[in-house]
Structure 1
Amino acid sequence: MAAEDTDNARLAVPPRPGWAVEDVAPDSLRRVTSEVAAATWRLGLRRWFWGEGVCLLGLVRAAEAFDEPVPQPVLDWYDTHLADPSSDPTALLDHVNEVAPGTAAVHLVTHAGRTAYRPALDRLLDWTRRPEVTRDGTGAIEHWPGGVWADTMVMVGAFLLRLGEERRDRDLVADGVAQVLAHAEVLQADNGLFVHGSHQGAAIPCHWGRANAWAALAIVEALEIDRDLVDPGARDELRRRLDLQLSALASTQPGHGIWDVLVDGHPETSGIIETSAAAGIAAAMLRSVPLLGTDRYAAPGWRALRGVLGQVDDGVLTRVSAGTVLQLIPFGYSVIRDDRPQPWGQGLLLLGLAAAGESLARGESVR
C-alpha cells in the first residue's frame, strides 16, 4: 500500500482566532449579517444554480431570524429570472443542482406573497419526477448517473420538503423525507459521519466536511416541517440519524471550532480547514436544540460559528473550498483550492448567522 501523502497537511495554515463568547450579541450578529449580505450582492449572484440557491436561502432565513422583511434584492432577483417565460430557467433544467433556488422561492410564496412563482415551482417539481432523473436502488436521486451525493439532500430534498409544507401536501413532504433518508442510508457511515458520495454503487469513505453540512441541514429541514405532515416513524429515524451524526462531529471538532476538509481527522487533510462546512454544521447544531430536545450540540455549534466568524474579511468568508467533485481518495480533498470567495460559503455563513439569531431569540446562551 502506498504511504500517505501528508505534504499539503504539513503546510496547512492555522485559522485566525475566532470570536470570543463575549463578542457575540444580537447587535454584533445583526451587523455582521448585514456585512455578509452586502458582500454577497457585491460578489454577484449571476445565474440560476446551486451556489446562488444557497445564498438566497441564507439571505431569506437571516432576514426572518432578525425580524426584518425579505430583502428587496432577493425579490428583484427572482422577479428578473422568472419574468420572461421564454428564458425561464425552470423550463431549461438539466441537473439536480438547478432545483436549489426553488427552496427560497417557496419561502417567498409563503412569507412575501409571491404567488406568481408557483408555476415555476410546479416546473421544478415536475422535473424531479422525469424518467431521465436517475435514482439508485434506494430511490435516492443521483447527482450524476451512478453516483449519489450528499449535496442533493439540500438541493432537491429541502425543496420538496418546503414545497410540500407550503401546499399542506403530506405525500410531497413524504417524498422529501424519503429523499433525505434514502441518501442517509447510502452515505451515513457506521460512525455517524456522512461521506461525500457513492461511485458505481459503492460509498467512497471520504468524510467530506461540506457533505456533512448538507446532510445535517437537510435532516434539520425535515424535522422542522409541521409535525402533522410527517410520519412519526420517519421523524424518529431522522432524529436518530441527526443525533448520531452531530455526536460524531462534536467528537472530532478541533478546539478552534473549524473542522478539517475531511472531518474525521484524516492525516492527508489534517489542519486544512474548510469554513463553509463549519458554518453549515454550526447552523444545524444550533437549530437542533428544539428538534432533539437537548442542548448537547449548542456548545460545539457556537464554537464552530465563532471560529468561522474569525475568518470573515469585509463580509466575505475566506478559506472556502471551491466546487468539489467526488474524490476517490482522501488526498484529493487536500488539493482543492480555497483562495477565492464562493457563493456557497456566503450562503452557509448566512444560514449559520440566522441560526444564531434564532438561538438567541429563544433565550439560549452563547457558548
Structure 2
Amino acid sequence: MTGLDPSSAEHGAPLLPPVDPSVLTVDVLADTGRRISVRAVDMGLRRWFWGEGVVLLGMVRMAEAAGDPLPPFVIDFVDEHVARGIEPDHVNSIIPGAACAWLYRETGDRRYADTCRQLLDWLAERTGPGPLEHWPGGVWADTAFMAGVFLVHCARALDRPELVAEAARQWLLHADVLGDPASGLFAHGSHRGETIWCFWGRANAWLALAGVEILEADPSLDHVRERLAVQLTALAATQPAHGVWDVLVDGHPETRGIVETSATAGIAAALFRAAALGISPDRLRSAGWRALGGLHPYVTEDGSVTRTSAGTVLQLIPFGYSVIRDDRVQPWGQGLGLLAYAAALVTRSCRGSRSLR
C-alpha cells in the first residue's frame, strides 16, 4: 500500500489495559450503567436529535435491565418536546420517537401515539423503493438505526407489524449498498452512488444494533439473521486482543490503535443480544465480554465514556477518520455505553426485559 499517512496512528494515546470480564459482576455493571446515565443527564441535552435519541433509548434499556424506575429525564425530555411540537428536519430527528413509543406502551397516553404517527408520516413521505438516503445521493449506515429502530418500537407500540417488515427491508437495502462481500464488514456510506469502503466502527455498530432490534421483534427474518451473523462473526475476527476496536474496524494502518469506544459499546451490545437470539452464542458472547472488558477502563468515575469520536461525516479516504476529535464527552457515547452495559447486565443476570423484548 502506497501513499499512506500513519502519522495520527503513530501518535495515538496509549491504550488502557482491559479488565478481566470476571470483575464485571451484576453490581458493577448496574452501578456503571447508572453512572453513565447520570452523566448523560448532566450534559444538559435539549435537542430532539440523534445523540439525544440514543441516550433516551439507552436509559430505557438500562433501567429495564437493572430493574430501576425510568429516569425522570426521559419523561421530562419527551413531554417538553411533545408539548412544543416536533418538526423533524432530517432522518436523524426520528430516533427520539422510539422513547415516545415506549412511553405509549407504558402509559397509554395518546399524546405519545400521536407523536409516533406524526413521525411515521414524515418518514413515509421520504421513503421509496430504494434505501432511505441520509443526504441526497448518499446512503449511510446511521439511517438503518435512526429510522429502523424507531420503526420497530412503533410496530410494537401501535400494533403495526408491517413496520417491522419495513425496518427489515431498509436494513437489507442498506446492507446491499454498504456490505463488503469479502470481509462481511459494513462501510460508513456511499457518495453520489459510489460506496466508500471505509469500515467505520460506529457504522458497524449502527447496523448491528438495528439488526438485533429487528430480529428481537421478528426472529423469523432469516435474511437479516444471515447477514447479521456474517457481520458479527467478521467483527469478532477483527477484534483486537485488548477488546476495543479502532475507529476503522479492519485494522487499517492509518487508524490502527486509535480506539473508538462508542463503536465498541454498540458492537458489544449487539454481540450480547445476537448471542441471546442463538447466533453463534459462545463465540459472540465471548467477544462481547472481551469488548466490555476493554471498554470498562474508559468509563470514568463520573460516568463519562471517554475516547468517543465526535459526530463524523462520511470521509472519502481512511485517513479522514484518524483526525476526528475524541476528547469530549458525547451523547452517543453515553447512549451506546448504556446499551452495552444493559445488554451485559441482562446476559449476566439472565433477567428478561418486560417492555423491550
TM-score higher than 0.5 here? yes
Q: Is the 2:309–2:324 contact (alpha carbons within 8 Å) kept by the matching residues of 1?
A: yes
Query: Is 1:126 aligned with 2:121?
Result: yes
Q: Is the 1:63–1:70 contact (alpha carbons within 8 Å) kept by the matching residues of 2?
A: yes
Aligned to 1:270: 256
Q: 1:99-133: per-residue Cα shift (whole Å, max 9, x none)?
A: 01011221121134443211111110000111xx3
Q: Is the 1:58–1:347 contact (alpha carbons within 8 Å) kept by the matching residues of 2?
A: yes
Secondary structure at the aligned position of 2:134 is classed as coil
Residue among 312, 324, 348 paired with 1:336: 324
Q: Is the 1:18–1:311 contact (alpha carbons within 8 Å) kept by the matching residues of 2?
A: no
Secondary structure at the aligned position of 1:292 is classed as coil
| Superposition map of 1:8-23 within 5 A | 8-23=8-23
Secondary structure at the aligned position of 2:312 is classed as coil
Q: 1:148-176: per-residue Cα shift (whole Å, max 9, x none)?
A: 00000110011112211222223222111
C-alpha distance in structure 2 between counterparts of 1:164 and 1:48, whole Å: 21
Aligned to 2:215: 223
Q: After the TM superposition, which of the residue ranges 60-69 and 324-333 deviates more from structure 2?
A: 60-69
Residue among 272, 283, 292 paired with 1:296: 283
C-alpha distance in structure 2 between counterparts of 1:212 and 1:272, whole Å: 16
Aligned to 2:334: 346
How many residues are aligned here?
Answer: 349
Q: Is the 2:142–2:207 contact (alpha carbons within 8 Å) kept by the matching residues of 1?
A: yes
User: 1:105–1:18: structure 2 CA closer, same or farther, 3 Å change rule?
Assistant: farther
| Superposition map of 1:303-318 within 5 A | 303-313=290-300, 314-318=302-306
Residue identity in the other structure for 2:27: D
- TM-score, structure 1 normalization: 0.92
Query: Is 1:201 aligned with 2:193?
Result: yes
Residue identity in the other structure for 2:189: G
Residue among 333, 337, 345 paired with 1:357: 345
Residue identity in the other structure for 1:302: W
Aligned to 1:109: 104
Residue identity in the other structure for 2:270: A
Q: Is the 2:53–2:96 contact (alpha carbons within 8 Å) kept by the matching residues of 1?
A: yes
Q: RMSD in angstroms over aligned alpha carbons? A: 1.6
Q: 1:254-275: per-residue Cα shift (whole Å, max 9, x none)?
A: 1110000000000110111100
Query: Is 1:321 aligned with 2:309?
Result: yes
Q: 1:211-252: per-residue Cα shift (whole Å, max 9, x none)?
A: 00000000000000045xxxx4xx111111111001110111
Residue among 172, 181, 189 paired with 1:181: 172
Gap runs ≥5 in structure 2: 353-357
Aligned to 2:78: 78
Aligned to 1:192: 184
Using the TM superposition, give the Cα deviation of residue 290 of structure 1 relative to its aligned residue in structure 2, in angstroms. 2.2
Using the TM superposition, give the Cα deviation of residue 134 of structure 1 relative to its aligned residue in structure 2, in angstroms. 6.4
Secondary structure at the aligned position of 1:203 is classed as strand
Secondary structure at the aligned position of 1:317 is classed as coil
C-alpha distance in structure 2 between counterparts of 1:112 and 1:194, whole Å: 38
Gap runs ≥5 in structure 1: none
C-alpha distance in structure 1 between counterparts of 2:192 and 2:12, whole Å: 32
Aligned to 1:255: 241
Aligned to 2:135: 144
Residue among 235, 241, 249 paired with 2:227: 241
C-alpha distance in structure 1 between counterparts of 2:22 and 2:155, whole Å: 40
Residue identity in the other structure for 1:181: L
Q: Is the 1:53–1:102 contact (alpha carbons within 8 Å) kept by the matching residues of 2?
A: yes
Q: After the TM superposition, which of the residue ranges 184-193 and 162-171 deviates more from structure 2?
A: 162-171
Q: 1:322-364: per-residue Cα shift (whole Å, max 9, x none)?
A: 0000001000000100011100000000000110111112289
Aligned to 1:164: 155
Residue identity in the other structure for 1:282: A
Q: 1:13-65: per-residue Cα shift (whole Å, max 9, x none)?
A: 23212222232111111111111111111112121000000000000000011
Q: Is the 2:113–2:158 contact (alpha carbons within 8 Å) kept by the matching residues of 1?
A: no
- TM-score, structure 2 normalization: 0.94
C-alpha distance in structure 1 between counterparts of 2:278 and 2:285, whole Å: 11
C-alpha distance in structure 2 between counterparts of 1:210 and 1:199, whole Å: 18
Aligned to 1:33: 33
Query: Is 1:94 aligned with 2:80?
Result: no
Q: Is the 2:5–2:254 contact (alpha carbons within 8 Å) kept by the matching residues of 1?
A: yes
Q: After the TM superposition, which of the residue ranges 342-351 and 66-75 deviates more from structure 2?
A: 66-75
C-alpha distance in structure 1 between counterparts of 2:7 and 2:127, whole Å: 39
